[in-house]
Amino acid sequence: MSVQSMARRYAAALANVVMAHGEAREVQEELSAWESMMTGSSDLIEVFRNPTIPYDQKRNVLSTLVARARVRPTTANFLQVLLRNQRLLDLGEINKRFARELDDRSGVVVAQVTTARDVPSSLQDGLRERLSNLTGRRVRLQFTVDEDLIGGVTTRIGSTVYDGSVRTQLQQIRQRIAGEQ
């Protein structure tokens, strides 16, 4: 099974649990913190990756860390399940899926907005409103700056791209003039 479909299943299962307990945000934060701790420590990754270390030892390491970090029981249990199923190293992918799953369930879409310059916050609200009208859902904006666009704005929601950048318009003009003659 591909990593993506595996991640989707774990994310959906976890989402079911946390929605029932009403602790979605907390668990999500704890898991991201855990992920950054793991990526920050190569020793820790080595311990979990190394197949010559017996499962019991790995579990002890994880239990100690969990006790030390004082995470919620849901988070701790989830990590233990991942360890037992040898999926702990795929936590990054699962976290990404989990965030999207939570967004889907609460009716939020993520829009990646790319502009040539920083967008002032007054414009951000207007953009958010227009995008929610367009999609019919609440929109969370993520901004990136790419000077190659020259001007204008491109927005990507899921796999749909709304491209209003000057760069694309120039390309279209070029195609039109070069293509017709």
Within 10 angstroms of residue 16's Cβ, the number of other Cβ atoms is 11
We find the least distance from the C-beta atom of residue 160 to other proteins, in angstroms, to be 5
126 lines the binding site for other proteins (CB under 8 A): no
Q: How many residues interact with other proteins (rule CB under 8 A)? A: 18
We find the least distance from the C-beta atom of residue 15 to other proteins, in angstroms, to be 17
We find the least distance from the C-beta atom of residue 10 to other proteins, in angstroms, to be 14
We find the least distance from the C-beta atom of residue 129 to other proteins, in angstroms, to be 16
Mask 55-84, x = binds other proteins (CB under 8 A)? Answer: ------------------------------
Q: Are 69 and 61 in contact (CB under 8 A)?
A: no
Q: Copy the structure tokens of residue 119.
A: 């967008």
Per-state percent for the chain, helix, strand, coil, to nearest 5 = 65, 15, 20
Within 10 angstroms of residue 157's Cβ, the number of other Cβ atoms is 17
CA 31 vs. chain centroid, Å, equals 12
Give residues 2-41 in contact with other proteins (rule: CB under 8 A). Answer: 2, 4-5, 8
Q: Which is nearer to other proteins, 37 or 150 (CB)?
A: 150
Give residues 150-179 in contact with other proteins (rule: CB under 8 A). Answer: 156, 158-164, 168-169, 172-173, 176-177
Report angle CA 80, 87, 109 to the nearest 5 degrees: 100
Return d(Cα 12, Cα 141) in angstroms, integer: 23
Interface residues with other proteins (CB under 8 A)? 2, 4-5, 8, 156, 158-164, 168-169, 172-173, 176-177
